[in-house]
Amino acid sequence: MSGSAVPPSRAIFQPLLAAALAEDLGLAGDVTSEAVVPASATLRAEIVARTAGRVAGLTIGTAVFGMLDDGIGVEVRTADGEDAPAGSVLATVSGPARPILTGERTALNLIGRLSGIATATRAAVAAVAGTGARITGTRKTTPGMRALEHYAIRAGGGAGHRVGLFDAILVKDNHLDLAGGITAAVAAARKRAGHLMSIEVEVETLEQLGEALAAGAKIVMLDNMDSPTLRRAVEMTAGRAVLEASGGITPDRLAEVAATGVDVISLGWLTHSAPALDVGLDVS
């Protein structure tokens, strides 16, 4: 099954591409291409998936070529959210040779990174198929790239999580210590939150879960619980709150966790440990 997601706007990703190019070019520019490639040279190249995977970030990554030279043409062959077999052509790039070579690594790094996240998410979603559990990411993302990495998760078939500290209240252990406990923290959060803002409470024990439910929490994060404890938490809650399992969950444990009946499984692994998809640029 393919994933679908609305790509981030150009206003989100163009500054990131510009910063990546600035990092690569420094003050001297692409000294190799300028030294050995004639200024008049043109080329046609293919962006190829060296290994099979789920594609994400293709239109975002290839936008770097237009930033370098508006005479470069890009034809996307595989849409984000689609699966690509090994050896398939994802896009073609044609035009002035120097700027194509200059943008090559920035484009491939971004496409490979986002496609790797999408591929890992696709596998995670498949592992929990039929259980009703949704797969989401976390805030454990590459600084500056969260919008893109969360987009890749959605392209892989995963669900959205909070974007940042600003769009949802998630009361974690350190907050609880400073707020005076779960009941006090939930009450304080309710006073601050608008009617459209969700409030989630992190708990580590079944006793804390009971307090969170009594305080009226509608979303509860079950942190680092083993599967029998998760199963008991689902029984205790009996549908009164959305339950999110999180903390140290790896791909090999997904099916087991999903079978406990939790509603959501959040994995930092998707963005901090998923391997990049191997993609290359081949001159045709």
Digit-coded pLDDT (tens) for 213-267: 999 999 999 999 999 999 999 999 999 999 999 998 989 999 999 999 999 999 9
Q: What percentage of the chain reaches a pLDDT higher than 90?
A: 93
Q: What are phi and psi of 280, to 5 degrees?
A: -140, 165
Residue type, 164: G
Mean pLDDT for 37-61 is 98
- Give pLDDT tens digits for 182-225: 999 999 999 999 888 889 999 999 999 999 999 999 999 999 99
- Which residue, chain included where needed, has tokens 């995977």? 53
CATH 3.20.20.70 residue spans of the chain: 126-272
Q: CATH assignment of 10-119+275-283?
A: 3.90.1170.20
Which residues have a catalytic role annotated?
A: 105, 140, 172, 202, 223
Q: What are phi and psi of 49, to 5 degrees?
A: -80, 110
Burial of 259 (0-12, 13-18, 19+ CB in 10 A): middle
Domain with CATH 3.90.1170.20 in the chain: 10-119+275-283
If DSSP states are collapsed to H, E and C, what string results for 221-269?
EEECCCHHHHHHHHHHHCCCCEEEEECCCCHHHHHHHHCCCCCEEECCH
Q: Average pLDDT of the chain?
A: 96
Cα separation values, 108 from 113, 137, 282, 283, Å: 8, 23, 12, 14
Residues 206 and 243 sit within 8 Å (Cβ to Cβ):
no
Give 139: exposed, middle or buried? Use CB within 10 Å, 0-12, 13-18, 19+.
middle
Which residues, including other chains, have CB under 8 Å from residue 213's CB and lie 6 or more apart? Answer: 220, 236, 237, 240, 241
pLDDT for the residue 7: 87
CA distance 182 to 26: 50
CB 20 within 8 A of CB 110: yes
Residue 4's identity, in one-letter code, is: S
pLDDT of 4 strictly over 70: no
CATH number assigned to the domain with residue range 126-272, chosen from the 4 options 3.30.2010.10, 3.40.50.300, 3.90.1150.10, 3.20.20.70: 3.20.20.70
**Over residues 57-69, mean pLDDT:** 97
